A and B are shown apart, each in its own frame.
Chain A
Amino acid sequence: MKALRFHGNKDLRLDDIPIPEVKKGYVKVKPAWAGICGTDLHEYLIGPMLIPTTAHKITGEKVPVGIGHEMSGLVEEVGDGVEHYKVGDRVVLEPIIYDGTCGACQAGSFNSCYSNGFIGISGFGGAFSEHIVVEENYLNHLPDNVSMRTGALVEPLAVAMRAIANGNVQASDTVLILGGGPIGLAITLCLRSIGVKNIILSEMAAKRKTLALEMGASHVLDPSKDDVVARTLELCEGAGGVDVAFECAGVQPAVDVAFRTVRARGTIVGVSVWEGPASLDINKLVFRERRYVGTAAPEHKDFEAVLKALKEERLKPDGLVTKTVGIHEIEQEGYKSLIEDKANHAKVLVEVGGG
């Protein structure tokens, strides 16, 4: 079968490899649509970082590995003993890999497993392939009224839902989102789906600012033109700041703004992964008793929240998709647009073809 695999820094190849065996407890899925993630881009440009170069503790795999973890697909075959899926089921991948035995797992924090991995990063195949074979617990059912194309957006939306949960956002809150990339925009959508109306989003790129308004942001600020801190505080009318700020840019100016715009006892949620350390003005946490909370990968309950919101039509994320590409042009059209024309893109989906 054809499978896009990561061989090294800037080295993706559409390889011909054997179709994996459908063992007991495993399900064979034909990927329909799959998204390219910021992490995929990072690995391509400056990796391998998360992608293992020595045998991964759980998967046992190392470079080359299959790529793609934001996936919807169609069940084509089920192994013996599979309980929850049958041929023809429409499914979404839940990619976090955990060992279930380490201290984090025993405390229920599977997304922080000490041997943490991702399907499509650490092994077990990837979504940019003609087939993927995984154990059934890595799958979720896609509701009948949700398209396969939308299904490929479930994973990044789950990231957004988790960030919102960690921030303990209430519907009446005023929220600031720093960065209008796919995650900042996904957070905007998910906030709207739970009834939040006052959403300020800070972003420079014209297309992304437009998308932010389309996704339901109430105000869009441009850090290259506006004094984001002053404008945000103005918009909070004496409350002293926003209730929650989401840091989705991964750059120093963004976290500085977050630390200055959150009200007393408000929350800054760290969502973005950084390329280096951040300088944090801790005194700003002290004087207003603010808190900063990190958000790791989404867990099962975050996927459930997204699937429920999609089924109930509270969440309509298709506007996040700015381009679709075929499996043969993932690098040349997909990665390239996201790297060289980032400002004009949010989510790029690969039409793998199944379902």
Chain B
Amino acid sequence: MKAIRFHGRKDLRLDEIPIPELKSDDIKIKPAYVGICGTDLHEYEDGPIVIPSTSHRVTGEQLPLTLGHEFSGVVYEVGSAVTSYKPGDRVVVQPVIYDGTCGACKQAQINCCYNMGFIGTSSAGGLAEFIVVKESFLFRLPDNVSLDVGAMVEPLAVAWHSTDVANVRPSDSVLILGGGPIGIAVLLCLKAKGISNIIVSEVAAGRKKLATQFGATHVLDPTEDDVAARCRQICDNEGVHVVIDAAGVQSGLDTAIEACRVRATIVNIALWGKSPTVAVNTMIYKEITYKGSAIYVQGDFQQVLDALGNGKIANAKDMITKKIEMSEVDEGFRLLVEDKANQVKILIRVAGGD
């Protein structure tokens, strides 16, 4: 079968590899659409970083490795012991692999597993004609949600979880730093939860427009506006209750600390290239809580699927700015690196469908 495999930095190849074997408790899926994630880009540009060069602690796999951890698909075949899925079922895959035995797993904090892996970075992913997974990794896609939107459930779950970590209340004002795929996903999730005062800070014109389209009450541009001052102005001269950082840059964090009110919460989703310097005394005097948000936890996928199904997460399809074929994968990566301002989510059509 065909598969896009990561061989090394800037080295993706469309390889011909054996179709994986189906054991009795496995499910064989035909991936439909696969999203490209910031992590994939990072591996492409600077990797291998998380993709293992030697046998992975949990999965035993190593490069070259089939990419793709944000994907939807259709069940093709099920093992003899599988009863809960049948061929034709439309599904999404939750890619987290956890060991179940480390200190975090023992506290049911699987998203903090010390030996965490991902389908698509620690074991073969969805950028292939077939993938075989266990039942526990699957969720059903509602009938009224298309397969391309299904490929966005994973990043939407990352965003959803961050809003739980932030503990946002309906009357809160929220500042989202960064209107990229995660920032926009956070906006959609906040709207789904009934939050109405949402300020987005973003520089790229296309992304600012999308933020407005998706219902941000204010869209600010840090190259033009004093974002912190505007946030305070907009929010009773006090500042926002919550900041969600999907940008991960020094100036953003500086702004967050000044934009938020006393006892506010800043939630960081973004991964940082280098540690920021922080005005820690301001965090002390304002008793700010600064929390990290790691991927998602049990239940988040289902909540996102439900919200897509009942329309609370609306217009997720509009986040898809381009669809490409497997043969064009290098172009997809290139666009996300060089034409970032005009792209949000690029999907690779594997089997496609819907």
Contact = CB atoms under 8 A, between A and B. Distances in A.
B278 A280 contact: yes
Contacts, number: 135
Nearest to B235: A103
Given A283-B272, A291-B292, A103 B278 contact: no
B104 A240 contact: yes
A293 B267 CA distance: 12
A232 interface: no
A282 B104 CA distance: 19
A110 to B, nearest CB: 10
Contacts of B114: 240
A295 interface: yes
A81 interface: no
Contacts of A291: 289-292
Interface in B259-295: 261-263, 268-272, 275-281, 283-294
A234 to B, nearest CB: 13
A268 to B, nearest CB: 9
Interface size range of chain B in the complex: 35 or more
Interface residues of A, number: 41
A240 to B, nearest CB: 3
A133 B279 CA distance: 36
A334 B265 CA distance: 40
Nearest to B278: A280
Contact of B237 (A103, A277, A290): A103
Interface string A276-301: 01111111111111111111100000
A273 interface: yes
A291 B165 CA distance: 10
Nearest to A268: B290
Interface string B144-156: 0000000000000
A292 to B, nearest CB: 4
B238 interface: yes
A283 B49 CA distance: 14
B262 A104 contact: yes
A115 interface: no
A292 B283 contact: yes
Given A238-B103, A296-B285, A286 B269 contact: yes
Contacts of A116: 285
Contacts of A239: 103
Contact of B104 (A103, A112, A288, A296): A288
B24 to A, nearest CB: 34
A103 to B, nearest CB: 4
Contacts of A287: 112, 292, 294
Contacts of A321: none
Contacts of B238: 103-104, 107
Given A239-B103, A264-B109, A103 B294 contact: no
Residue of B253, B261, B280, B293 with highest tally of chain A CB at under 10 A? B280
B143 to A, nearest CB: 34
Contacts of B277: 277-280
A218 interface: no
A30 interface: no
A350 B51 CA distance: 62
Contacts of B276: 279-280, 282
23 contacts: A103-B262, A104-B262, A107-B262, A107-B263, A112-B262, A116-B285, A263-B103, A264-B104, A273-B284, A274-B280, A279-B278, A283-B272, A283-B275, A284-B292, A286-B269, A288-B104, A288-B112, A291-B290, A291-B292, A292-B283, A292-B290, A294-B280, A294-B289
Q: Which 9 pairs show the lowest CB-CB distances between chains A and B?
A: A240-B103, A285-B292, A264-B112, A286-B292, A294-B284, A291-B291, A294-B283, A264-B104, A103-B238
Given A287-B112, A288-B294, 18 more contacts: A104-B261, A107-B262, A112-B262, A112-B285, A239-B103, A264-B107, A265-B107, A265-B109, A277-B278, A277-B279, A278-B278, A278-B280, A282-B248, A286-B271, A287-B294, A289-B109, A291-B291, A294-B283
